[in-house]
Amino acid sequence: MRQKKWNIKNKEDFFLGLIFAAFGVCYLLESIRLPDKGIDALGAGFLPEILGGLAILCGGILAVVSVKGRANEISEISMAEEKVTESETQEEETNWKAVGLSLVLLLAAVFSIEYVGFVIVGALYLFFQILILSPGKDKKIWIYAVIAVGVSIAVYLLFKYAFHIMLPNGLLKNIM
């Protein structure tokens, strides 16, 4: 009896998919444990359960697509990936400076949101994140600022009036 050998095309994607699916399982299990206070039909754990399920689904798909077995062969994807040249793969290297700056920016936002407030921290976070991730040298800073402030205010108002959830006001507590 001949045993099938798995041919993993992209080991990073395969293991990342497994890790993401495992995270989704843990997240789903923890969201199921959330107490249901009976306030509304959906309950507190509804959205976390959806997100956990989506994480499992996305991680599983990533892991399955990265495996090239006889039964799982995806001809279009494999043919397209074979055409990628070495020069194209070198251009797609991770920009670790942007990753590091994004991580520092996220940590700063998380630790300052309670004191400074959601609107200010959200606007600053979005503005600097757009600056970090936008390509090229011709950056339209005033457009980024308008987008960041507009989205931050819109999200705050959505949570306050549509979901009846108060986000931290921080420095703007007398205004909002």
Same domain, 104 and 122: yes
Q: What is the mean pLDDT of residues 46-63?
A: 87
Higher pLDDT, 95 or 159: 159
The pLDDT value given to residue 74:
47
Q: Residue 116 corresponds to which tokens in the numbers above? A: 């400074």
Same domain, 167 and 100: yes
Tally of residues, the chain: 176
Q: What is the DSSP letter of 72?
A: T
Examine residue 148 and state whether it is found in any structural domain, yes or no.
Answer: yes
pTM comes to 0.54
Higher pLDDT, 41 or 80: 41
Higher pLDDT, 84 or 28: 28
Expressed as residue numbers, the domain containing 100 is: 96-172
Burial of 167 per CB tally in 10 Å (0-12, 13-18, 19+): buried
Local confidence band at 163 (pLDDT 50, 70, 90 cut-offs): confident
Same domain, 103 and 81: no
Examine residue 120 and state whether it is found in any structural domain, yes or no.
Answer: yes
User: Domain ends where: 23, 56, 90?
Assistant: 90
Q: What is the mean pLDDT of residues 108-134?
A: 94
Beta bridge partners of 67: 8
Domain count, the chain: 2
Examine residue 66 and state whether it is found in any structural domain, yes or no.
Answer: yes
Instruction: Map tokens 């800073």 to a residue.
Output: 141
Same domain, 73 and 114: no
Same domain, 85 and 132: no
Same domain, 103 and 32: no
Same domain, 107 and 134: yes
Local confidence band at 126 (pLDDT 50, 70, 90 cut-offs): very high
Q: What is the mean pLDDT of residues 138-162?
A: 93
The pLDDT value given to residue 82:
54
